[in-house]
């Protein structure tokens, strides 16, 4: 069983399994990667790279979710 690390998502502390990728975090939060902008430690991560970036202890992640409508 992986160790849990603490990160900050949109200003709130959250525990995630060590080794979690940004794409894995989005899946755990039930968010569609096509409708979210992800900032990891103050850097925007483009959608193709979300599965390559592993989250580390203390990382800060900001998620902006687009909502359709008019």
CB count, 10 Å around CB of 50? 19
Residue 70 lies in a domain: no
Q: Mean pLDDT, to the nearest integer, of 48-70?
A: 91
**What was the pLDDT predicted at 46?**
96
- Per-residue pLDDT band for 70 (boundaries 50, 70, 90) equals low
Domain range for 46: 4-65
Residue 45 lies in a domain: yes
CATH code for position 48: 3.10.20.30
Say how many domains are in the chain. 1
Give the position of tokens 């039930």: 30
Residue 43 lies in a domain: yes
Q: Which has the closest alpha carbon to 57: 19, 12, 30, 24?
A: 19
Residue 20 lies in a domain: yes
């Amino acid at each position: 069983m992986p160790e849990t690390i603490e990160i900050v998502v949109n200003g709130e502390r959250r525990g995630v399994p060590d080794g979690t990728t940004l794409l894995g975090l989005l899946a755990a939060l039930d968010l569609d990667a096509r409708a979210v902008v992800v900032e990891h430690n103050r850097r925007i991560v483009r959608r193709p790279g979300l599965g390559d970036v592993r989250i580390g202890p203390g990382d800060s992640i900001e998620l902006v979710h687009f909502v359709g409508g008019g």
